[in-house]
Structure 1
Amino acid sequence: MRNPRDIIKRPVISERSMGLLEENKYTFYVDPKANKLEIKHAIQELFNVTVVNVNTMNVKGKTKRVGRFVGKTPNRKKAIVTLKEGDKIEVFEGV
């Protein structure tokens, strides 16, 4: 297994992800090559919680334009992690 800090990149702070906190679901950007089992073990090891379910999605990068120059934002992988009832991740509680 890889290092958990290489798998979990950063939390997603958005209006939708904050709404999911009420259902005990947390959203993270993860390594695009990580599978659901690796994500589950990384979250459990980093935050000492019990993961019930992991849903993943690949987010395609958008095309951006500045004047005549065209670029693209990077592709990302997002994971929505459902925790056992009663478990919380303290990183999100202050937001």
Structure 2
Amino acid sequence: MNAPSFEPTFDADDGRYHLECSWDGRDQPGLVVIQAVADVLGRDPLDLEPLQATVDVDALTKLLTRHETPSLLVTFEYADATVTIDRSGSVTIDPD
């Protein structure tokens, strides 16, 4: 079984890559970040450092999937990129 494909699109106006996801159980935040960052950087996801070394993936997933937090924005550095995720499913990747 192949992993889902998360292909961010480049926005020439802000110089960043954007992706829309759903945190309702269909998309897993950790998997989305790893695959999207690898795509933006042109690298194999297996060549990236473990995401868990940068952010607590379980805590991130709980924060994004809890309906008690309607407004949430998380930003962190991962594999030569700045990643911003919000509760609505927006993922922004800014390569360094």
| Bin of the TM-score, shorter chain as denominator length | 0.3 to 0.5
Asked which structure has the greater CA Rg, the reply is 1
> Normalization by structure 1: what TM-score?
0.41
